[in-house]
């Protein structure tokens, strides 16, 4: 099987996630951004941060004309 590539560090926006995935990562870790949300608003804050990141990633994909994550254009990284 194929080795999974994980990206960690510096992931703070949906565009950071898009760059990591377009660069070949299978998934990214999130630490600081959800932690800030939890510190500010409890567990709801963490959930809200994840929702914001999902929306940002969706916006990036729409701007690139990409319907699925697997098709993120690597040449734009």
Q: pTM of the predicted model, to two decimals?
A: 0.87
Q: How many domains does the chain have?
A: 1
SS3 of 23, please? coil
Residue 52, domain member (yes or no): yes
Residue 16, domain member (yes or no): yes
- Under a CB-based contact definition with an 8 Å cutoff, are residues 48 and 41 in contact? yes
Residue 73, domain member (yes or no): no
- Under a CB-based contact definition with an 8 Å cutoff, are residues 53 and 13 in contact? yes
Residue 77, domain member (yes or no): no
Tell me the per-residue pLDDT of 10-62, one tens digit each, with 9 for 90 and over. Answer: 899 999 999 999 999 999 999 899 999 999 999 999 999 999 999 999 999 99
Q: What DSSP string runs through 40-52?
A: HHTHHHHHHHHHH
Residue 3, phi then psi, degrees to nearest 5:
-70, 135
Residue 38, domain member (yes or no): yes
Domain that holds residue 17: 6-64
């Amino acid at each position: 099987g194929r080795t999974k590539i994980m990206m960690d560090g510096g992931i703070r926006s949906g565009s950071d996630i898009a760059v990591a995935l377009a660069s070949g990562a299978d998934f990214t870790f999130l630490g600081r951004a959800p932690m800030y949300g939890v510190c500010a608003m409890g567990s709801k804050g963490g959930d809200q941060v994840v929702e914001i990141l999902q929306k940002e990633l969706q916006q990036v994909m729409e701007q690139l004309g990409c319907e699925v994550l697997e098709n993120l254009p690597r040449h734009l990284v």
